Every structure is written in C-alpha cells, then in structure tokens.
Amino acid sequence: MALQCGIVGLPNVGKSTLFNCLSNAKAQAANFPFCTIEPNVGVITVPDERLTKLAELVNPQRIVPTTVEIVDIAGLVKGASKGEGLGNKFLANIRETDAILHVLRCFDDENVTHVDGSVNPVRDKEIIDYELQLKDLESVDARISKVQKQAQTGGDKQAKLAYDVLVRYKEALEQGKPARTVKLENKEDEKFARELFLLTNKPVLYVCNVDETSAIAGNKYVEMVRGAIKDENAELLIVAAKIESEIAEFETYEEREMFLSELGLEESGVNRLIKAAYRLLNLETFLTAGVQEVRAWTYLKGSKAPQCAGVIHTDFEKGFIRAEVIKYEDYIKYKSESACKDAGKMNIEGKEYVVQDGDIMHFRFNV
C-alpha cells in the first residue's frame, strides 16, 4: 500500500514549491496564482538508513524502499465551490488520498502575490476548510438523494444505515465542522464512511511555508496557526519550501547535508514530512532481508504478524503459519541471519504477535 497525500492550499502559497522539494518529479512553480492546473503526481521513496545498513550486510541484488505518493493540485479560492477561480472539480484528484497536506503561506514577500492581498494563514486556512466542507457537503447530498427513498420507505437495512450516517455528516458539515468530528459507533458505519472518501475526514498535516530565516524557530504566522489548530488532532510542520527545493536540486547527499546544516536543519523537509505523516497516520515500517532484495514495508501500527504478511501478498496472510523475527539492532550486531539464530536472537512468533517498527520479518506460509 503506497501511502498517498494530497496537497491543498490557496493559489501561490508554495504548494508546487513544496512538491518540488519533496519529490523528484518536477512541477511548475511560479509567481502567479493558478500556475498549476493539471495535477502533479510524485513518488517519494521513504528514506530509511536501516535499509542501507542492512544492505551492506546482506548484499542483495536490489534495495527497495517504501514509497509515499504526493498529489499537487490547483489552488482553491474562496467561492471555489461556486466556480470561483478554477472551481473545485480538481478536488476529485485527491479524493482517495490517505492524508491532506494543507500548505499555509507563512512568509512575507512583496513580490509574491497573495490572492487575498495580505499574509494571514489563519484566514487562509478557514477559506480552505470551508471549501473542503462544501465539497464534502456536495458529495453527502448527492448520496442522500440516492438512498433517501429506500431508507425511508422500505425495509432496506443497508440503505437505512447509509442514510443515518449521511445525515450525521450533513449536520456537522452544515455547522461548519469537518467530517472527522463525527464519531461513529460501530465498524459497519465506519466502513461505509471510509468509502465516502470525504476530504474533511482525512487526517491533516499543516505545512507552514516560511522564509529561510524562520526554518527552525518559525515566526509569528506559525504561532497564529499553532493557536488556531490546537484543538485539532493534527500535526504542524515548518518547512522553508523555497530554499529546500533549491537544496533538493543538488546532486550529492553531502552537498544537500551541508546546505541544510547551514540553515540549522538536521533533516530535510522530506524526512520531516514523512515522519510526521507516518505519526499522523499511525504507520510503521518492517523490513525483509534476503539475497534478492532488502526491502521496507509500511503497515498500520498495532498490526499482527498475519496482517503484515498480507502487506507483502494476500496469500501470505491466508496461508500464514509463523514468522521468524529478528530485531534490527540484533541483525546489525550479529551481522547475519544465521549468526542471530545461533545467538538465540531469532524469535518464532505466531498469529498473535504484534509487529514492531524495524522488525526484520521472515514469514512462513503455505498456499
């Protein structure tokens, strides 16, 4: 499962610049509103130094990191749902993403036009939130009109369930609340809700785009945002997107490290963003190490061994017998699978084993 994140924000706040600092795919970023029209999709490989260290010991034919996909779309403006700007149809491009990256302009620059005339990230955030809620309301209303009749007249249980959930979303959205504030009680409702793909039901990561001097400590705009989102279960990330996108252009890792440390940054925006997204989405990584490949896999924190096996292949989950687990630190210490085994550091785990971040897994299964 490649994790997908969609970028939203007003025009000209630095969405495509952020996209460029994250991914190798290049999007056009320029100082005019609505620079982006068609969506840009980029694949970021998740940097994980454990993969490199393991590969040095195993010498595999290939190293396969796990990936995150980023979708950069056009800027939204106030009234987008009524056709202002480029309208809101392009939001369909981020309908099925796992999380939203909400980019907020937190830098002053007279030369970069702000569509609303001044820099105010909290106002901007409210405009975007409102437009996302209206888009969701559109989807909810459309679904309601499909199921209403069946739900109210017949004994159609499924339609009744759908209708009840939809009405709750409608009420919340009409009060200007995001769909994620609706707490559903049972698994069936949750399943139905997931399939609605509501934008305001997705976890959100606020990305404050600052000038390079504020890359570490942030600035007054970042503090405004922090205050405004304190009751939301959201992450906030400070990125100096422009300078980082320039740094990302350098060929070698050493050069990039050098420029980042000059800014006072220990880690690039990509790394920080991925870590924040993983935290937000409750994701962790397990590893597999074989002569063909050393590979990282993303799974939902708290998953048991069979579910993790299923990340590799559904047959692995169905035919799961057991898992042989070596802790990453042990592998590095003893330097091979057989040495770990001899040292008693390979554990045989069954169906109830809860996989831990960094576990090196070997699944046994039959099909």
Ligand X SMILES: Nc1nc2c(ncn2[C@@H]2O[C@H](COP(=O)(O)OP(=O)(O)OP(=O)(O)O)[C@@H](O)[C@H]2O)c(=O)[nH]1
- Which residue ranges make up the site for ligand X (CB under 6 A)? 9, 11-17, 29-31, 33-36, 74-75, 107, 109, 112, 209, 211, 240-242
CB of 21 to ligand X, least distance (A): 9
Q: Binding to Mg ion (CB under 5 A): which residues in 21-60?
A: 35-36
CB 179 within 8 A of CB 201: yes
Query: Smallest distance from the beta carbon of 351 to Mg ion, in angstroms?
Result: 47
Return d(Cα 50, Cα 56) in angstroms, integer. 10
d(CA 214, CA 236): 14
Residue 107 or 169 with smaller CB distance to ligand X = 107
Query: At its nearest, how many Å lie between ligand X and the CB of residue 215?
Result: 9
Partner from Mg ion, ligand X, none contacting 109, C-beta within 5 to 8 A by type? ligand X
Q: How many CB atoms lie within 10 A of CB 32?
A: 9
Residue 75 contacts residue 9 (beta carbons within 8 Å): yes
66 sits near Mg ion (criterion: CB under 5 A): no
242 binds, among Mg ion, ligand X, none (CB under 5 to 8 A by kind): ligand X
CB contact at 8 A, 245 and 29: yes
**Which of Mg ion, ligand X, none is residue 21 near (CB under 5 to 8 Å by kind)?**
none
Q: SS3 letters for 64-125?
A: ECCEEEEEECCCCCCCHHHCCCCCCHHHHHHCCCCEEEEEEECCCCCCCCCCCCCCCHHHHH
- Rule CB under 5 A: say whether 209 interacts with Mg ion: no
- Residue with smaller CB distance to Mg ion, 106 or 361: 106
Report the nearest approach of ligand X to the CB of residue 263 (Å): 12
Strand partners, 320: 365
- Shortest distance, position 10 Cβ to ligand X, whole Å: 7
Helix (H) or strand (E) holding 128: helix 121-153
DSSP state of 24: S
CB of 265 to ligand X, least distance (A): 14
What is the C-alpha to C-alpha distance for residues 278 and 299, in angstroms, rounded to an integer? 10
Q: How far is the CB of 124 from ligand X (least distance, A)?
A: 11
By beta carbon distance, the residue nearest ligand X is 75
Closest chain position to Mg ion (CB): 36
- In angstroms, give the least distance from the CB of 80 to Mg ion: 15
Quick one: which of 361, 330, 363 has its CA closest to 345?
330
CB-wise, 17 or 268, nearer to ligand X?
Answer: 17
CA distance 17 to 44: 15
User: Contact between 20 and Mg ion (CB under 5 A)?
Assistant: no
In the numeric block, the tokens 């209206």 are attached to 134
Task: Give the C-alpha distances (Å, rounded to integers) separating 124 from 10, 45, 352.
Answer: 7, 31, 47
If you ran DSSP here, which 8-state letter would residue 10 be given? S
12 binds Mg ion (CB under 5 A): no
**Residue with Cβ nearer ligand X (69 or 212):** 212
Q: Which is nearer to ligand X, 34 or 233 (CB)?
A: 34
16 touches Mg ion by CB under 5 A: yes
Q: Which is nearer to ligand X, 29 or 46 (CB)?
A: 29
Q: Which residues bind Mg ion (CB under 5 A)?
A: 15-16, 35-36
